[in-house]
Amino acid sequence: MFRRRNQTAEAPPAAEPEVPQKKGYTPAKGQPTPKRRDAEANRRRTMTAPKNRKEAARQMRERNARERKMAEQEAAKGNDRYLPARDRGPAKALTRDLVDSRRTISQYFMFLSIAIVLIAMVPVPQVQLLIYYLWVLMMAVVVFEGFITGRRAKRLVRERLPEESTRGIAMYAAMRALMIRKLRMPKTRVNVGDTI
C-alpha cells in the first residue's frame, strides 16, 4: 500500500512551469511609455483665468463653439459617437454606402419640383395640364425608386450583417436617396459606380 515506486520507472515529462505574473502586470503596449515631463507638457495648455463674468461667458462660448465644430466635423465623417441615433450603426453605414454608390432620379427631386412650380406659373391651360401630368409621373418614379432602393438595402444588410436589425432600413435608404448628393449628412464615402 505505501510502497515506494521503482526508481527505474520513467518519470512523466515535466510540464513547463507557469511563470507567475505579478499583481498589476500590464502586457506590452507596442510603444514606449512617454516620460512624465513629456506627457505633462503635451497636456499643459496656457489658460487664463477669466477676470469677470463677461470674460468667463465669452470663454465658455468659444469653448462650446470649438466643441460643436469638432462634433460636426466628426459627424460629417461618419464617426458613430457623434452621429444622431437614426444614423448610428454598421447597418445604416452600409445602407448609406449603397445609396451613395448609385445615381437616381430621386436625388434631383428638389430641382425638378422647383422647375415644375416655376413652369406652373405660366398662365397657359395646356402648359398647366402638362405640368400636372409631369408632377404625377415624377411622384410615381420617386415612390417606385424609393421602394426598389429600400428592398435592395434590406437585402444587402441581411446578407452582410445578419446579426443587425433591418427595421427602418428601407425608409432610411429611400429618404437618403431623396437628398441632393452634396447635402447628404453624413457625407458620402463612396463614388458613384463603386462596388459595395
What pLDDT is attached to residue 176? 93
Domain termination site, one of 61, 82, 103: 82
What pLDDT is attached to residue 56? 86
Query: Cα separations (Å) of 55 from 42, 48, 76?
Result: 26, 10, 32
Give residue 18's pLDDT band: very low, low, confident or very high (50, 70, 90): low
* Closest by Cα among 154, 155, 168, 176 to 106: 176
Q: Is residue 177 situated within a structural domain?
A: yes
Asked if 104 and 77 sit in the same domain, the reply is no
Secondary structure of residue 85 in the 3-state scheme: helix
* Closest by Cα among 72, 46, 70, 71 to 59: 46
Asked if 146 and 174 sit in the same domain, the reply is yes
Q: Give residue 104's domain range.
A: 87-183
Asked if 77 and 93 sit in the same domain, the reply is no
Torsion of CA 122, 123, 127, 128, to 10 degrees: 100
Domain termination site, one of 38, 60, 82: 82
Asked if 98 and 131 sit in the same domain, the reply is yes
Quickly list DSSP for 137-163: HHHHHHHHHHHHHHHHHHHHHHHH-TT
Asked if 77 and 124 sit in the same domain, the reply is no
Q: Is residue 3 situated within a structural domain?
A: no
Residue 41 pLDDT more than 90? Answer: no
Asked if 78 and 161 sit in the same domain, the reply is no
Asked if 148 and 114 sit in the same domain, the reply is yes
Portion of the chain with pLDDT greater than 70, in percent: 84
Asked if 57 and 106 sit in the same domain, the reply is no
Asked if 155 and 121 sit in the same domain, the reply is yes
Q: Does the predicted model carry a pTM greater than 0.75?
A: no
Give pLDDT tens digits for 51-98.
888 888 888 999 999 988 888 888 888 788 888 888 888 999 999 999
Q: How many domains does the chain have?
A: 2
Asked if 178 and 91 sit in the same domain, the reply is yes
Mean pLDDT, rounded, for 113-135: 88
Residue 119 pLDDT more than 60? Answer: yes
Domain termination site, one of 82, 103, 134: 82
What pLDDT is attached to residue 169? 94
Asked if 93 and 166 sit in the same domain, the reply is yes
Give residue 123's pLDDT band: very low, low, confident or very high (50, 70, 90): confident
Give pLDDT tens digits for 164-188.
988 999 999 999 999 998 888 888 8
Q: Is residue 19 situated within a structural domain?
A: no
Asked if 123 and 106 sit in the same domain, the reply is yes
Residue 156 pLDDT more than 60? Answer: yes
What pLDDT is attached to residue 19? 58
